[in-house]
């Protein structure tokens, strides 16, 4: 873990990197195989650093980018004003149609024509429906923009063919290696064959934004990609989706608003605006009951980002424990019980006992 290896396989600035080269090349080859890519850079320490490398490679400071608003489900690095992406670049934001909960592609196109971005960003941190990558490509081509896809949240689904692969449409794709890929915390950059672009991306990662790669993490990435290539991983991802859909239905049936009306992937957003509850209070109450979710802003949220009016719920972790639809439905019911009686210590204690018993039945590690 303490071996410096600045550079790339076969082109290092340090000696003694023979085994490091083998490990990194293995990770690269497996990543390319997994996603059908011609190019892969496995060195980014995180998804945000992978995204920063894309900006550095393709843009100049002050260039216009068009990305999804953080308030509507985008990511900090897609142009939020508090991020480098909103500070160093002229960031224009698109969102969802609040009447449908879906991205309005006609509005994305209108904004692209009006602002002429150099880069169009497709991707999200909290959007439960399927992105239309051909439509994004069409819009990017209309204004002569790069199409950059951040598939961090759905990479595991993409790898198993359960979500559309953006590689045929995007100029460059990034992802994290945790989340649905279920690997170590880290980043990854992918692209189709384009020698000039590959050179720019490599230079933007090192030396542009990072020094030595974290070789222990890259070794874990290689293992992650190998696991994702196994048939069992597709079975897991399919169960992740079924569990998310089963949970979302419970919330809808119990009278809660699920943003976008449901989910096509591993996550969904529950809006608590109609109930007059805050995400902060709901998050804390569920935590006391042994259930971890995260407070999350929802479209037209009247609360601050530190308070919010929603919850973001995902199923990869519970599915890894072995939960199926029956357990997911039961869990969603317990969450609704907490929300229906927010602040009731007796309900929290009862749910805590039930949650602990279920976790005991489905341990993280089985001996």
Nearest CA to 319 out of 256, 252, 233 is that of 233
Please say if 249 is a catalytic residue: no
Catalytic residue among 109, 150, 264, 301: 150
Catalytic residue among 118, 129, 137, 179: 179
The radius of gyration computed from the CA coordinates of the chain, to the nearest angstrom, equals 21
Nearest CA to 258 out of 327, 153, 332, 316 is that of 332
Catalytic residue among 29, 97, 135, 185: 185
Q: Tell me which residue has tokens 């119990």.
A: 254
Please say if 150 is a catalytic residue: yes
Please say if 98 is a catalytic residue: no
Catalytic residue among 6, 257, 337, 344: 6
Please say if 180 is a catalytic residue: no
Catalytic residue among 64, 174, 176, 278: 176
Please say if 4 is a catalytic residue: yes
CA dihedral 147, 150, 154, 158 (to 10 degrees): 40
Q: Tell me which residue has tokens 């591993």.
A: 266
Measured CA angle at 86 (ends 80, 89), to 5 deg: 150
DSSP bridge pairs for 11: 8
Rounded Cα distance, 268 and 312, in Å: 6
Q: Tell me which residue has tokens 């550095």.
A: 56
Rounded Cα distance, 47 and 49, in Å: 5
The residues annotated with a catalytic role in the active site are: 4, 6, 150, 176, 179, 185
């Amino acid at each position: 873990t303490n071996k410096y290896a600045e550079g790339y396989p076969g082109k290092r600035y340090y000696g003694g990197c023979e085994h490091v080269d083998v490990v990194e090349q293995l990770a690269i080859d497996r990543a390319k195989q997994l996603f059908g890519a011609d190019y892969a850079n496995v060195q980014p320490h995180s998804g945000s650093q992978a995204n920063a490398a894309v900006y550095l490679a393709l843009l100049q400071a002050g260039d216009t980018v068009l990305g999804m608003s953080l308030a509507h489900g985008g990511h900090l690095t897609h142009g939020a004003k508090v991020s480098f992406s909103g500070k160093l670049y002229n960031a224009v934001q698109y969102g969802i149609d609040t009447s449908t909960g879906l991205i309005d592609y006609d509005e994305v196109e209108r904004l692209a024509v009006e602002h002429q971005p150099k880069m169009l960003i497709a991707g999200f941190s909290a959007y439960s429906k399927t992105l239309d990558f051909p439509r994004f490509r069409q819009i990017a081509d209309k204004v002569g923009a790069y199409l950059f896809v951040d598939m961090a949240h759905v990479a595991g689904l993409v790898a198993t063919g359960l979500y559309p692969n953006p590689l045929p449409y995007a100029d460059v794709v990034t992802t994290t290696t945790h989340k649905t890929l279920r690997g170590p915390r880290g980043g990854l950059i992918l692209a189709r064959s384009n020698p000039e672009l590959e050179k720019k991306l490599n230079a933007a990662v090192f030396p542009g934004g990072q020094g030595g790669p974290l070789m222990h993490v890259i070794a874990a990435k290689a293992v992650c990609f190998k696991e994702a290539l196994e048939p069992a991983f597709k079975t897991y991802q399919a169960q992740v989706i079924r569990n998310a859909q089963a949970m979302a239905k419970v919330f809808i049936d119990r009278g809660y608003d699920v943003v976008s009306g449901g989910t096509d992937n591993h996550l969904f957003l529950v809006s608590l605006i109609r109930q007059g509850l805050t995400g902060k209070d709901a998050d804390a109450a569920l935590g006391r009951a042994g259930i971890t979710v995260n407070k999350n802003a929802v479209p037209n949220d009247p609360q601050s980002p530190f308070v919010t009016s929603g919850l973001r719920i995902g199923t990869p972790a519970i599915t890894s424990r072995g939960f199926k639809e029956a357990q997911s439905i039961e869990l969603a019911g317990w969450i609704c019980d907490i929300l229906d009686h927010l602040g009731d210590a007796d309900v929290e204690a009862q749910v805590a006992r039930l949650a602990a018993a279920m976790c005991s039945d489905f341990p993280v590690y089985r001996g």
